[in-house]
Amino acid sequence: MPTSATSTSNERRRREGGFTLIEIGLVLLIIATVVALVVPRFRDQSLQELQSQTRKLAATFRFLQEEAILNGRVYRLNFDLDQQRYFVTEADLEDESAFKQTTTGVLSHDVILPSTVQIADVDTPESGGKLYEGVALAHFFPDGFVEPMAVHLQNGQEFYTLYVANGLTGRAHVAAGYIDLGAPS
């Protein structure tokens, strides 16, 4: 049986000795678990933003197609690749070749992409191919026609593609990955 002098000596050593190896290991395990759970969520946030912006652009496509049909006007979606933004213009009623920026309605303002999402390129195979800079255009006509095209959005790691494969239906599709409309099927 230990004496009182021995137990006092043991208590003093415990207080002066710091943490045990088991305690340090347990703290490191907790830290590693928290990091393993938190880091993937930051990546997912970037992916979620990419998906969200692609869906928002698809909704804009559908809306513009419906507006063109309902109003009997030609609308143009302008992609400013240098400024990473897009905005809508409509044909002037007196001069169909002149376009002016819309000043009323839902699309009366520029949509500036967040810094985590970029327009990589806009591919219009029937009128010039891929554009990586400058302004690319998508036209929406009163008969529902939309020029076939692909808009590639990226977050630095992954791509999402908004594409119109059939101009007669003008239906916009969203797909994960980089879809090249000019590539043979």
Domain count, the chain: 1
Residues 45, 154: Cα–Cα separation, whole Å: 13
Q: CB neighbours (10 Å) of residue 89?
A: 17
Percent of the chain with pLDDT over 90: 46
Domain boundaries, position 148: 48-176
Across the range 93-120, mean pLDDT stands at 74
Q: Label the pairing between strands 75-80 and 135-140.
A: antiparallel
Residues 139, 79: Cα–Cα separation, whole Å: 11
Q: Give pTM, 2 decimals.
A: 0.71
Q: Is residue 110 situated within a structural domain?
A: yes
Q: Is residue 183 situated within a structural domain?
A: no
What is the per-residue pLDDT across 66-106, written as a single tens digit (0 to 9) for each? 999 998 988 999 999 999 999 998 876 565 566 776 655 66
Please report the pLDDT score of residue 185 as a whole number: 46
What is the per-residue pLDDT across 48-73, written as a single tens digit (0 to 9) for each? 899 999 999 999 999 999 999 998 98
Q: What is the CATH number of the domain that holds 52?
A: 3.55.40.10
Residue 1 to residues 4, 5, 10, 66, Cα–Cα distance (Å): 10, 12, 14, 90
Q: Are 180 and 162 in contact (CB under 8 A)?
A: no
Q: Is residue 153 situated within a structural domain?
A: yes
